[in-house]
A and B are shown apart, each in its own frame.
Chain A
Amino acid sequence: MIAQRRPVQKYLWVGFFLFPSLAGLLVFLITPMLASLALTFYEWDPLIPTHFTFVGMENYLTLIKDADFWSALGHTLYFIIGYIPLVLVTGLAVALLMNQKLIGRTFFRGAFFMPVISAWVAVALMWTWIFNPKFGIVNYLLGLIGITGPAWLYDPNWAMPAIILTSVWKDTGFIMVLFLSSLQSIPQEYYEAASLDGANGWAKFRYITLPLLSPTLFFTLIISLINSFQVFDQVWIMTQGGPAGSTSVLVEQIVNNSFRYGRMGYAATLSWVLFLIVFVVTMIQTRMQKNWVTYD
């Protein structure tokens, strides 16, 4: 309808409406992004302004040989392998539970959502205190059933599991609402028809719920995967990458390199490698979804 106006006038309006947002994104997002790509070919310490040197592929070569990078990648993968299956299964289970007609449903949905809306910093501090080896309630409860709990965040073997559990606890409610919103869109008639055909609970879940949930399952998998490659806040608060580097993750490496060691170029290189990983994972999943996702 606007097209009926004279083109010049129309484009003035487009400019008027689009300018604030587009200009802002260009300045604060797209330019920094391209600058970051350029920076991967330079060496630069902001504290020594004259020290700004073109180094070609040097940063990428350093990265390949950088033991810290590979160990951070390993820890990130460890986090992902622990976190993703747990958070998806608990999120789905809780969503199925919340989809039942139970008294107090709204209250419990709120309970599951509380960690989601809380700041990571607060949640991480809360769990640092809960995991306290001597006075925390986790080890106290373990003690009641005769188990001597580990030192958790102070133990290189147990720090990452503690971070994974905390993350699952925080994000279950998020996964829950995603599943819940698509569970509620499944028509009840499907289940009623299946009941008439004598289908049991498992059959209904396997042949109705799961196929109809598969697009959501796919989305939540991608979202959680992308988010978990970027895991940072909880690590920064709970362990700062320790003990003995056992929870050092990719983003923590980026932050240390840029803001602690003053290696801006190398930090940018690490961040682009992170971007590349996220991008490739998303592409692979987009390809694979055809095999197991059912869109109705």
Chain B
Amino acid sequence: MTESRLHELNKPLGKVLLYILLIVSGAVMIVPFAWMASTSLKSGEYVLTMPPQWIPDPATLDSYRRLFELYPIGRMLLNSLFVAGLTTLGQLITCSMAAYAFARLKFRGHNMVFFLYLATLMVPFQVTITPLFILMRIFGWINTYQGLILPGVFSAFGTFLLRQAFMTIPTEYEEAAYMDGASPLTIFMQIILPLSKPALATLSVFAFMGSWNSFMWPLFIVREETLMTLPVGLATLQGRWLTEWNLVMAGAVITVLPMLLLYLVAQKYLIQGYVMSGLKG
């Protein structure tokens, strides 16, 4: 592979080749997004043209306006925010508490319970989805926010991620506090959590994004448009106006854009989350 020689490429020709490679591969990533945005800014008669019109002329926000008027996309946007927000909050609370128990309260059998947590990471979601759906029927939670949110609040991965972070905190701080008679809850709230802000941030953005993008569970648990999150709403949009690609692409932009903004403000934490998710195996 040519990339193998990259380490010693200081020669101008090598640099030029590298930049060509960089720009071409970058274009492959960006052009589809640009095409999505471009399509969403066209009015209907300019969408199905050959050769394609790369830059919308005239550019119009018409498809966005129609999407908000004809379709509860605003409501779906709020649903997505609400569901992702509560899922994140729930994961932060439950995962950090469990992680503290595993990292610091070395109880009998803690290794076994922790292993059980890790083992659940191997189970494909499809294994649990059918009984989980039945359980939701028993609870009467089909088509409800609690049915949409609660199953996502408990995360073995989040617990693992925070436990790893808590383990790196030196115990000296806690010993001093303990000597002063502080309870585990005080130590957890006033020492462990403040010292783990980067890990908590990583879990927050990662959980928020996972919930925002999740498709399969919301697809099954929600039937009414007023409860749908953006990905599910977007999927039904395809069936509804299959040929109106400007509307569908406008919906895609609305779904993708908030995550791009999140990446811009929190890319360090987001990438860290992915690295951790890759290395949990």
**Residues of A that sit less than 8 Å from B by CB:** 1-3, 10-11, 13-14, 16-18, 20-22, 24-25, 27-33, 35-36, 39, 46, 92-94, 96-97, 99-100, 102, 104, 107-108, 110-122, 125-130, 132, 134-135, 137, 140, 169, 173-174, 177-178, 181, 191, 195, 200-202, 204-206, 209, 219-220, 222-223, 226, 229-230, 232-233, 236-237, 251, 254-255, 258-259, 264, 267-268, 271-272, 274-275, 278-279, 282
Task: Report the minimum CB–CB distance from B54 to chain A (whole Å).
Answer: 9
Task: Provide a sorted-by-A list of 28 A–B residue pairs whose CB atoms are within 8 angstroms.
Answer: A16-B97, A21-B97, A21-B154, A28-B151, A29-B120, A32-B129, A32-B135, A33-B120, A33-B131, A35-B131, A94-B25, A102-B18, A108-B22, A112-B29, A121-B231, A127-B32, A137-B35, A173-B29, A201-B5, A205-B1, A205-B4, A209-B4, A209-B7, A219-B278, A236-B215, A237-B238, A264-B130, A274-B127
Q: Do A118 and B259 have beta carbons less than 8 Å apart?
A: yes
Over the window 67-105 of chain B, the binary record of Cβ atoms lying under 8 Å from chain A Cβ atoms (1 yes, 0 no) is 000000000000000000000000001110110110011
In the complex, B123 has a CB within 8 A of chain A: yes
Q: Do A119 and B230 have beta carbons less than 8 Å apart?
A: yes
CA distance A58 to B166 in the complex (A): 48
CA distance A193 to B232 in the complex (A): 55
B126, B230, B271 — which one has the most chain A CB atoms within 10 A of its CB? B126
**B49: which A residues are within 8 A, CB to CB?**
135
In the complex, B255 has a CB within 8 A of chain A: yes
Contacts A93-B1, A122-B256; is A17 near B270 (CB within 8 Å)?
Answer: no
Chain B residue at smallest Cβ distance from A274: B124
Interface residues on B, range: 35 or more
Residue among B18, B100, B130, B209 making CB contact with A117, cutoff 8 Å: B209
CA distance A275 to B93 in the complex (A): 29
In the complex, B193 has a CB within 8 A of chain A: no
**B28: which A residues are within 8 A, CB to CB?**
169
In the complex, B156 has a CB within 8 A of chain A: yes
Q: Do B104 and A129 have beta carbons less than 8 Å apart?
A: no
Chain B residue at smallest Cβ distance from A108: B26
Contacts A121-B235, A237-B238; is A282 near B122 (CB within 8 Å)?
Answer: yes
Q: Do B97 and A219 have beta carbons less than 8 Å apart?
A: no
Contacts A29-B123, A140-B52; is A202 near B5 (CB within 8 Å)?
Answer: yes
Task: Report the minimum CB–CB distance from A262 to chain B (whole Å).
Answer: 11
Chain B residue at smallest Cβ distance from A13: B184
Q: Do A268 and B171 have beta carbons less than 8 Å apart?
A: no
Q: Do A31 and B135 have beta carbons less than 8 Å apart?
A: yes
Task: Report the minimum CB–CB distance from B213 to chain A (whole Å).
Answer: 4
Contacts A21-B97, A25-B120, A100-B18; is A1 near B178 (CB within 8 Å)?
Answer: yes
**A135: which B residues are within 8 A, CB to CB?**
47-50, 52
Contacts A30-B120, A97-B25, A178-B279; is A119 near B231 (CB within 8 Å)?
Answer: yes
B49, B100, B113, B134 — which one has the most chain A CB atoms within 10 A of its CB? B134
**A237: which B residues are within 8 A, CB to CB?**
235, 238
Contacts A108-B26, A111-B26, A125-B234; is A177 near B255 (CB within 8 Å)?
Answer: no
CA distance A27 to B101 in the complex (A): 20
Task: Report the minimum CB–CB distance from A150 to chain B (whole Å).
Answer: 16
**B220: which A residues are within 8 A, CB to CB?**
259
Residue among B47, B105, B153, B281 making CB contact with A24, cutoff 8 Å: B153
Q: Do B212 and A178 have beta carbons less than 8 Å apart?
A: no
In the complex, B168 has a CB within 8 A of chain A: no
Known: A25-B154, A119-B231. 18 other contacts (CB 8 A): A2-B178, A10-B105, A14-B105, A17-B184, A21-B159, A22-B98, A27-B135, A33-B128, A113-B271, A114-B260, A121-B231, A130-B32, A200-B5, A201-B9, A209-B4, A236-B235, A254-B126, A275-B122
